[in-house]
Amino acid sequence: MTPSVEMADRRGPGYEVSKISMTEASVITARTIFAPESPWFDGHFPDNPIVPGIAQMSMIFDLMQRTMGPGVKLEGFKRVRFKQLIRPDTPISVLIKPAKKTLNRFEYQLTVDQKIVCTGFIDIRIDQTVRPPEQGNLM
């Protein structure tokens, strides 16, 4: 598996990725941002926009599929904790790494200005061989 992949200006469903990498140990790191015009802010809340929790969870799964391949399927989220609000145009650091005791479980952490804003676990299944990330496919 390729030790790391770098991306620039990659748009996701409602957010932008400025950098993403995955190590051989399947540790994923990324820098993301939800722009004010993101559809996630439609109605959530017009005068006081915040990134919905479901948007954060969707981003975690999307980042895993981008780096590990389309064979990664969502089984569920566990022990999700939203510790602080995330506003539009706020740079978010993402860390996703394999959980120590459970196969196909990853723990994740979102930080803003070095403060933890969200933590949890994501359970996945792999329907096909996970492909190594290829820089050409991610840009």
The reported pLDDT for the residue numbered 46 is 77
Burial of 60 (0-12, 13-18, 19+ CB in 10 A): buried
| 103-110 average pLDDT score | 96
Q: Which residue has the higher pLDDT, 101 or 78?
A: 78
Please say whether the beta carbons of 20 and 10 come within 8 A: yes
The string of pLDDT tens digits covering residues 6-56 is 333 345 578 999 999 999 999 999 999 999 988 888 877 878 899 999 999
- 64-89 per-position pLDDT tens digit: 999 998 899 999 999 999 999 999 99
- In Å, how far from its chain's centre is CA 89? 16
Q: For the whole model, what pTM was predicted?
A: 0.82
CA distance 23 to 67: 10
Burial zone of 47 (CB within 10 Å; 0-12 exposed, 13-18 middle, 19+ buried)? exposed
pLDDT confidence of residue 128: 66
Written as six digits, the tokens of 66 are: 């981008």
Looking at residue 131, its pLDDT comes to 52
Phi, psi of 80 (to 5 degrees): -75, 130
**Residue spans of beta strands (DSSP E) within the chain:** 10-11, 16-22, 28-33, 72-82, 92-98, 105-112, 115-126
Closest-CA residue to 28 (of 125, 117, 108): 108
Q: What is the pLDDT of residue 65?
A: 93
Predicted confidence at residue 43, as pLDDT, reads 74
